[in-house]
């Protein structure tokens, strides 16, 4: 019998009573590896109630105790690093090294969560008036929710629940229905690390389950990563119900190349940043902007991309794995065909690529377009596949204008040997995360992941200090204490002016 994925509620694995089930496939073979329940309203309510009850106790748990839980958890994750990565490679099709990187970036956030005492300290000022002190401190919100995508099933859940729980909240996670195995394992390990029952619940399903989860009155905040359309829907649903929301949506990331950059470094970085993880990451470089004579490097870039081949998770020569589903492949193939129809030049076409012994995998080879214009569908839509578009401009100013005219602002990069040019770019570009000779500028967890414009809806970003602010409320106290002599004088007053 195919493995039926349970729910995790109040620290226990539970078989769902739903009548709606989805199949989970290995994207390299299309074999069914599990059946996934779409949680019922009763089960969703039970998960939120378990989190709500656990919050009563957990919010009063001393901060050092919360930090020690995170230390135990990160130690267990490190111990299980390769086993989790293997599971992730089966769930997503990622190469083993890519899968290990996914897990490791999540572990780094858990380590940051163990620093919660320093991250959540308040402020104090004595004598704001005569005999009056003022101080502020942070308190947790309550039940928080995370809705996570298929492309990073370890890293992105670990962006969310460790920091939320370290802040004193409890959490309900709804992972992507396409990759549920790793999030379930993360929850199991969290309880093995010593978490009290009810701190973390995991429920499954699609859009309807997410909507029902957000409708629960006890839910105070939601963190989301996914597509633009789904992100906008989640943001509207949450804010209309007066809940906090941080929503990470689509992207169209540009890498600007000045002719004074190191040619080989540019090509190596462009290839990895565009087709790595099959292009299925919100920080992938999907547009290369070649400035001036850097356009002459296009033949070398084409040749380098042609050497990269997709393959299965344990193929040491594979540059990346399959797309997540036949539907995802069909969508990307449609965009490639549309690009050809609209006049873009396809220098490298991976549409017909095959992988030996895996005829049913969702394979797509590296694909490269030149002569791309801003009105083309290829440029306007997020592709989410191993496809790189090349555009040429005459100056840095034109490159900046091009990037700023795009509605997304997740990440961008510039490759140059000029400090002045790099400084101008980082100052003037309207994108939240900028790389200087770094193609994918994802920050380490002591900074925050800071997409702008249509790549992010909300005010406070993921991990780092901003996440702590997102998952807490600030309370300010103005205090005055009377000594015995003052208390005996009925006419004593304190001037607060």
Instruction: Verify whether residue 282 is a known catalytic residue.
Output: yes
- CB 389 within 8 Å of CB 270: no
Q: At what angle do helices 263-275 and 298-306 cross, to 10 degrees?
A: 50
Other beta carbons within 10 Å of 74: 22
- CB 267 within 8 Å of CB 301: yes
Pairing of strands 411-415, 408-409: unpaired
Core vs surface per residue 159-190: b (16+ CB within 10 A) or e? bbbbbbbbbbbbbbbbbbbbbbbbbbbbbebb
- Where on the phi/psi map is residue 114: left (φ > 0), alpha (ψ -120 to 50), or beta? alpha
- CB 16 within 8 Å of CB 43: yes
**Catalytic: which of 38, 144, 167, 282?**
282
Q: How many helices (H) and strands (E) does the chain have?
A: 17, 22
Other beta carbons within 10 Å of 101: 18
Angle at 102 between CA 96 and CA 108, to 5 degrees: 135
- Where on the phi/psi map is residue 313: left (φ > 0), alpha (ψ -120 to 50), or beta? alpha
What's the distance, Cα to Cα, between the start and end of the chain in Å? 75
**Which residues are tagged catalytic?**
282
């Amino acid at each position: 019998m195919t493995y039926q994925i349970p729910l995790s509620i109040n620290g226990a694995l539970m078989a769902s009573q739903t009548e709606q089930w989805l199949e989970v496939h290995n994207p390299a073979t299309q074999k069914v590896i599990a059946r996934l329940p779409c949680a019922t309203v009763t089960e969703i309510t039970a998960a939120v109630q378990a989190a709500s009850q656990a919050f009563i106790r957990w919010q009063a748990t001393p901060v050092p105790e919360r930090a020690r839980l995170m230390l135990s958890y990160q130690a267990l994750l490190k111990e299980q690093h390769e086993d989790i990565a293997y599971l992730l490679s089966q769930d997503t099709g990622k190469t083993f090294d890519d899968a290990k990187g996914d897990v490791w970036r999540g572990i780094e956030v858990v380590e940051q969560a163990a620093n919660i005492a320093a991250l959540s300290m308040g402020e104090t000022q004595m004598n704001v008036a005569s005999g009056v002190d003022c101080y502020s401190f942070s308190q947790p919100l309550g039940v928080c929710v995370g809705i996570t995508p298929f492309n990073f099933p370890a890293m992105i859940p670990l962006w969310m629940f460790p920091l939320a729980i370290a802040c004193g909240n409890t959490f309900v996670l709804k992972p992507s229905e396409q990759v549920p195995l790793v999030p379930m394992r993360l929850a199991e390990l969290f309880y093995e690390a010593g978490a009290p029952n009810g701190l973390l619940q995991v429920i499954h399903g699609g859009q309807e389950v997410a909507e029902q989860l957000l409708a629960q009155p006890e839910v105070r905040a939601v963190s989301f990563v996914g597509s633009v359309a789904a992100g906008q829907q989640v943001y509207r649903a949450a804010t209309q119900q007066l809940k906090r929301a941080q929503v990470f949506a689509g992207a169209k990331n540009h890498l600007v190349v000045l002719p004074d950059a190191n040619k080989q470094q540019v090509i190596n970085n462009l290839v990895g940043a565009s087709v790595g993880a099959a292009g299925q990451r919100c920080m992938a470089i999907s547009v290369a902007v070649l400035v001036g004579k850097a356009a002459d490097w296009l033949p070398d870039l084409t040749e380098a991309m042609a050497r990269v081949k997709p393959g299965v998770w344990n193929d040491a020569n594979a540059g990346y794995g399959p797309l997540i589903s036949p539907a995802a492949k069909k969508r990307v193939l449609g965009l490639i065909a549309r690009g050809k129809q609209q006049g873009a030049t396809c220098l490298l076409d991976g549409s017909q690529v095959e992988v030996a012994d895996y005829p049913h995998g969702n394979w797509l080879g590296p694909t490269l377009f030149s002569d791309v214009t801003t009105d083309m569908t290829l440029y306007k839509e997020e592709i989410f596949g191993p496809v790189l578009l090349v555009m040429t401009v005459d100056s840095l100013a034109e490159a900046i204008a091009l990037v700023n005219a795009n509605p997304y602002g997740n990440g961008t990069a510039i490759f140059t040997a000029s400090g002045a040019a790099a400084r101008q770019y980082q100052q003037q570009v309207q994108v939240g995360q900028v790389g200087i000779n770094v193609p994918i500028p994802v920050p380490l967890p002591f900074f925050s992941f800071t997409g702008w414009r249509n790549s992010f809806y909300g005010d406070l970003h993921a991990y780092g200090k901003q996440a702590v602010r997102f998952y807490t409320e600030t309370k300010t106290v103005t205090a005055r204490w009377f000594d015995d002599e003052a208390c005996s004088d009925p006419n004593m007053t304190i001037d607060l002016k």
